[in-house]
A and B are shown apart, each in its own frame.
Chain A
Amino acid sequence: MTREELRTMAMKEQEKRAAFRCRLLVCYSSPCLSSGAEAVYKALLAAVQERNLDAEVDVTRTGCVGPCSRGPLVTVRRQGCEDVIYQHVTPEFVVQILEKHVLENEPLMENVLPGDLPFFAKQLKVVLANSASLDPESLESYVSMGGFTALAKVLEEMTPEQVVEEIKKSGLRGRGGGGFPTGLKWDLVRKALGEKKYIVANGDEGDPGAYMDRTTMESDPFLVLEGMAIAAYAVGADQGYFYVRAEYPLAAERLAKAIKKAEKAEILGNRIFGSSFNFRVDIRLGAGAFVCGEETGLLTSIMGRRGQPYPRPPFPANSGLWGSPTLINNVETFGNIAPIINRGGDWYAGIGTEKSKGTKIFALAGEINNTGLIEVPMGITLREVVYEIGGGIPGGAGFKAAQTGGPSGGCIPADYLDTPIDYENLAALGSIMGSGGLVIMNDRSCMVDVARFFMDFCRDESCGKCIPCRVGTSQMLGLLEKICNGSAVMEDLEKLRELAEMVQETSLCGLGFTSPNPTLSTLRYFRDEYESHIRDRKCPVGVCVMNEVPLRELVAELPRRIRAGAKSSLPGKGR
């Protein structure tokens, strides 16, 4: 493939598309699929064929549109008209859309997503810019939207140094959660000594409550591959690994297809775009271990071993896969690369706040009206996200907290709704940016129970290599369970805080030293709830079942229980 051929391919596809009278785009990402998008697509396809409209009406399966709670979504795109998005589409309704809106040009009134919905108006899409209009399984579709032009540009016009400079200029920071400057990381790997270098895309999105990477992989797999290829050129690597969670079979399937198609078109493989640059990508499936999202854990997992992290230094930039310099970036980070190259680092640096540039994808979930996937500029406030994009809390309930960063993050209370979201501000609030899960809780959530939930998760997922994490999480969970079942005393709170700080300081990897975050942040902002659990033996929202007593009161309690004929008079392990 040459640059000229790429242009021809794009033009051909654009012409093909322009020939259609109307295009119907069916969202085919996981959330819409689980609400029945497949049946809708089949019904639509059958209806189009029945009416012999194949040449006039195009039916395309696309990536994620965004408002997942309103799926299945179907977009009607006519030339010269604004897009109309229908929500909660059923196989019967989609035929109506075809008959009325497409054939008679009378848009239906029901189930239309309002065009001026703040959900869309407040967003700024860079990574997901094309996801709602392209077919993730078609190379032509990606190329027609300017795909692989960045890679071609890099290979023909730029030196690796210039690429790294451009990324540095953009101010892009790692989207996996840590926020390490991407350009700096690339520079480290580029300068590292080693004949063989590797690129790794981290698609092991283990954070419960987050699905940005899944959607990026499912909606625009070529974009991520292009980002990887540019990174490979910049650091001098010729082999890439794409590490995908086993829980995301659709993402893995689409990536595998994308790699195959790109290889066939000679966009991946040897002598890409006629240059001397070679790059191959292989997929590695995870097997359900949260700790493999940690970079050193992920590297050991790619090498087929137990995914246990190892101490750094040496950093993967110097000694990663099989001892060779390895560049490891999150999927979303790679998704940002092609737009930066195409539009320039300065353009990207113009978005966001002083220290956090660009946009960030968040998965909005929990007790909120519009759940779904959003891409917003850094520096947007939590209030805008919750009340404008998210449409507020359902059922008139009050906002209690926003949980960011999953088990490594914290809970942000209502007082801080006006804080601009960026790496520094979230860290100052005791949370982290994380990969971008944003779970909203209303006043029916017990914060102690939430802390217990995350601690249970971390204890379960601790790899067991270092003692602070293995034993510490277990002990902290014990204390939290005591608080939840009513057998804790006031001293336990101090013990919990001390233990949390110790684990934070002494653990080996990211999982360990961030695992106390949910506990510490809830202790900081919702201490009264903890105290009410202990002092009054009462869960303020009535979630926890408080059927135990503190050990020192057991002497008085036991005879009463025996008299009452309780089956088990001894305190159990709680829930």
Chain B
Amino acid sequence: MGADKSLITSHAVSKKEGSVITSQTTGAALKREAEGRSRTGAPGAGSGGSSAAAGVDSPYIQIDRALKRCQYSQDALIEILHTAQETFGYLSEDTMTYIAHELKLPLSWVYGVTSFYHHFNLKPQGEHSCNICMGTACFVKRAGEIVETLEREFQVKAGETTADGKFSINIVRCLGNCGLAPMVIMDGKVHARQTSESMLEECRKVLKG
């Protein structure tokens, strides 16, 4: 048992400092609109004028940076989605609309890509999340029992979040730590060689805070 934060916390790779170019003005109106609706409720970039200035308060500032880094290339869609998910935790319709507009892609295309890949969440995750590995090695070592126990205890199906939004259980495919199966990642912390009981105890502890 131990911590390996790097295993889950950051998916950021190769953060080269892109050259500072002013963001395109084409998306400015839509950006303001989307900002107004955004869940973070950041002020709607009222200043107008230069969109670069608007970017300071924009909830999409990280996305804008990623867009600039990729020079608004449509092929970089997956990178942009990664950045967006890192920023917001999930991909809302507003976020996808914004990205679609900036990359000049149809929203259906962006949604198609988002829904195709398991890594992208379309719904917000719970405050605490428990990712149980269900690779072959973990399966053979009875990770299924852990899933069943947690489902029963917290009254939530795998892949969903409890009604109070506190706890999500997810089944993930092989995390590549098969030598220490079965393994579970609880809030970014790796727990190797788990049993139903030890995991139940851990979850209760985490939920108590």
- Measured in the bound complex, the distance between the Cα atoms of B137 and A528 in whole Å is 24
> A129 at interface (Cβ–Cβ under 8 A)?
no
Give per-residue flags for A140-167: 1 if the beta carbon is below 8 A from chain B beta carbons, else 0.
0000000000000000000000000000
Q: A208-B137, A246-B11, A285-B11 are in contact. Are A371 and B180 (CB under 8 A)?
A: yes
Segment of A7-15, A30-38, A490-498, A530-538 engaged in the interface with chain B = A30-38
> A363 at interface (Cβ–Cβ under 8 A)?
yes
- Measured in the bound complex, the distance between the Cα atoms of B94 and A7 in whole Å is 55
Could you say which residues of chain B place their CB within 8 Å of the CB of A406?
136
Could you say which residues of chain A place their CB within 8 Å of the CB of B180?
31, 34-35, 68-69, 71, 371
- Asked if residues B179 and A69 are in contact (CB atoms below 8 Å), the reply is yes
- Asked if residues A39 and B82 are in contact (CB atoms below 8 Å), the reply is no
Count contacts on B: residues with CB < 8 A to the other chain: 49
- Can you spell out 10 A-B residue pairs with CB atoms less than 8 angstroms apart? A208-B173, A249-B6, A249-B9, A250-B4, A250-B7, A366-B137, A366-B178, A439-B178, A450-B139, A454-B136
- Asked if residues B113 and A30 are in contact (CB atoms below 8 Å), the reply is no
Could you say which residues of chain A place their CB within 8 Å of the CB of B141?
366-367
Least distance between B176 CB and chain A CB atoms (Å): 4
Least distance between A412 CB and chain B CB atoms (Å): 14
- Asked if residues A34 and B192 are in contact (CB atoms below 8 Å), the reply is yes
- Asked if residues B173 and A285 are in contact (CB atoms below 8 Å), the reply is no
- Asked if residues A253 and B139 are in contact (CB atoms below 8 Å), the reply is no
Could you say which residues of chain A place their CB within 8 Å of the CB of B78?
284-285, 287, 301, 304
- Measured in the bound complex, the distance between the Cα atoms of B76 and A439 in whole Å is 36
Q: A284-B78, A304-B74, A439-B140 are in contact. Are A253 and B6 (CB under 8 A)?
A: yes
> B166 at interface (Cβ–Cβ under 8 A)?
no
Segment of A209-217, A351-359, A479-487 engaged in the interface with chain B = A209-217
> A290 at interface (Cβ–Cβ under 8 A)?
yes
> B158 at interface (Cβ–Cβ under 8 A)?
no
- Could you say which of A247, A301, A302, A367 has the most chain B C-beta atoms within 10 Å of its C-beta? A247
Of the four ranges (under 10, 10 to 19, 20 to 34, 35 or more), the interface on chain A belongs to 35 or more
- Asked if residues B178 and A365 are in contact (CB atoms below 8 Å), the reply is yes
Q: A252-B11, A288-B173, A304-B75 are in contact. Are A367 and B140 (CB under 8 A)?
A: yes
> A43 at interface (Cβ–Cβ under 8 A)?
no
Give per-residue flags for B1-41: 1 if the beta carbon is below 8 A from chain A beta carbons, else 0.
11110111111011000000000000000000000000000
- Asked if residues B4 and A306 are in contact (CB atoms below 8 Å), the reply is no
Least distance between A109 CB and chain B CB atoms (Å): 25
Seen from chain B, the residues whose Cβ lies within 8 Å of a Cβ on chain A are 1-4, 6-11, 13-14, 73-79, 81-82, 112-113, 116-120, 134-141, 172-181, 183, 190, 192
Could you say which residues of chain B place their CB within 8 Å of the CB of A302?
75
Q: A38-B4, A249-B6, A288-B117 are in contact. List 4 more A-B contacts (CB 8 A).
A: A34-B7, A208-B138, A283-B13, A304-B77
Output the nearest chain A residue to B191 by Cβ-Cβ distance. Answer: A34
> A388 at interface (Cβ–Cβ under 8 A)?
no
- Asked if residues B1 and A247 are in contact (CB atoms below 8 Å), the reply is no
- Asked if residues A363 and B6 are in contact (CB atoms below 8 Å), the reply is no
Could you say which residues of chain B place their CB within 8 Å of the CB of A365?
136-137, 140, 178-179, 181
Could you say which residues of chain B place their CB within 8 Å of the CB of A205?
176
> A170 at interface (Cβ–Cβ under 8 A)?
no
Q: A31-B179, A33-B4, A289-B117 are in contact. Are A209 and B173 (CB under 8 A)?
A: no
> A207 at interface (Cβ–Cβ under 8 A)?
yes
- Measured in the bound complex, the distance between the Cα atoms of B176 and A34 in whole Å is 11
- Measured in the bound complex, the distance between the Cα atoms of B136 and A363 in whole Å is 12
> A335 at interface (Cβ–Cβ under 8 A)?
no
Those 6 A-B pairs whose CB atoms lie nearest each other, nearest first:
A68-B179, A208-B135, A209-B136, A36-B2, A287-B117, A288-B119
- Asked if residues A30 and B82 are in contact (CB atoms below 8 Å), the reply is no
- Measured in the bound complex, the distance between the Cα atoms of B7 and A31 in whole Å is 10
Could you say which residues of chain A place their CB within 8 Å of the CB of B113?
304-306
- Asked if residues A371 and B136 are in contact (CB atoms below 8 Å), the reply is no
Least distance between B117 CB and chain A CB atoms (Å): 3
> A382 at interface (Cβ–Cβ under 8 A)?
no
Output the nearest chain A residue to B74 by Cβ-Cβ distance. Answer: A304
- Measured in the bound complex, the distance between the Cα atoms of B176 and A437 in whole Å is 10
Output the nearest chain A residue to B103 by Cβ-Cβ distance. Answer: A304
- Asked if residues B118 and A287 are in contact (CB atoms below 8 Å), the reply is yes
- Asked if residues B179 and A371 are in contact (CB atoms below 8 Å), the reply is yes
CB within 8 A of A247: which of B10, B172, B179? B172
Least distance between A222 CB and chain B CB atoms (Å): 16
- Measured in the bound complex, the distance between the Cα atoms of B74 and A204 in whole Å is 22
Could you say which residues of chain A place their CB within 8 Å of the CB of B82?
246, 285, 287
> A463 at interface (Cβ–Cβ under 8 A)?
yes
- Measured in the bound complex, the distance between the Cα atoms of B14 and A244 in whole Å is 13
Least distance between B113 CB and chain A CB atoms (Å): 6
Give per-residue flags for A243-260: 1 if the beta carbon is below 8 A from chain B beta carbons, else 0.
010111110110110011
Could you say which residues of chain A place their CB within 8 Å of the CB of B73?
304
- Asked if residues B178 and A249 are in contact (CB atoms below 8 Å), the reply is no
- Asked if residues A34 and B190 are in contact (CB atoms below 8 Å), the reply is yes
- Asked if residues A288 and B178 are in contact (CB atoms below 8 Å), the reply is no
- Asked if residues B118 and A289 are in contact (CB atoms below 8 Å), the reply is yes
Could you say which residues of chain B place their CB within 8 Å of the CB of A33?
2, 4, 6-7, 190
Q: A35-B1, A366-B181 are in contact. Are A248 and B176 (CB under 8 A)?
A: yes
- Asked if residues A249 and B137 are in contact (CB atoms below 8 Å), the reply is no
Least distance between A465 CB and chain B CB atoms (Å): 11
Could you say which residues of chain B place their CB within 8 Å of the CB of A289?
116-118
Least distance between A306 CB and chain B CB atoms (Å): 4
> A372 at interface (Cβ–Cβ under 8 A)?
yes
- Could you say which of A301, A366, A371 has the most chain B C-beta atoms within 10 Å of its C-beta? A366
Output the nearest chain B residue to A72 by Cβ-Cβ distance. Answer: B2
Could you say which residues of chain B place their CB within 8 Å of the CB of A250?
4, 6-7
